[in-house]
Amino acid sequence: MSAAAALYSSGLSASAITQHQSVTRGTHAKRDAIHQEFDSFLSQLPALMGRSIKHCSPADVMVFMETHWVPAHLGSQTETGHKMAAPSSVEGALCNLSTLFQQHGRGQVWNEDTQSGNPTWSLGLKQ
């Protein structure tokens, strides 16, 4: 291996360590938890749908959030006596899902025309 290639490889390794250390343990735990929850949700869908982290849509994320994540993470009661997930908690969950999609090569944008990219950045989920 040339000196330049060794330096480049060393830089990549150091960068990965820095990235890992720049996020708290709590954030890692939240990301791991939502990853497991989302994988479990996708595995319960009919096999014919062929859903996975690499092959899912904004609609899949919306259904996951509405039918699984929000009901499992209800917070305090509102003035009307109903429990609801805090908006900041929902935003945090979507942010962690976005990072998950980025880590699986789905980028940081959603392309409506090709129905590809990071589904958490679709117009429907950003509203």
Contacts of 120 (CB under 8 A, 6+ apart): 58, 61, 94, 95, 97, 98, 101, 110
> Is residue 66 scored above 90 in pLDDT?
yes
Contacts of 78 (CB under 8 A, 6+ apart): 84
Cα separation of 3 and 11, whole Å? 12
If we measure between CA atoms, which residue out of 115, 127, 29, 116 comes closest to residue 107?
116
Q: How crowded is the C-beta side of 11, counted as CA atoms within 13 Å?
A: 6
| pTM, full prediction | 0.76
> For 70-115, how does the pLDDT look when each residue is reduced to its tens digit (9 = 90+)?
999 887 767 777 888 888 999 999 999 999 999 999 999 999 999 9
Please say whether the beta carbons of 51 and 63 come within 8 A. no
Cα separation of 118 and 2, whole Å? 37
Please say whether the beta carbons of 126 and 112 come within 8 A. no
Percentage of residues of the chain with pLDDT beyond 90: 54
Look at the alpha carbons of 67, 72, 75, 81 in this order and tell me if their dihedral is positive or negative: positive
Please say whether the beta carbons of 41 and 53 come within 8 A. no
Q: Which residue has the higher pLDDT, 55 or 12?
A: 55
Cα separation of 56 and 49, whole Å? 9
Q: Which residue has the higher pLDDT, 22 or 34?
A: 34
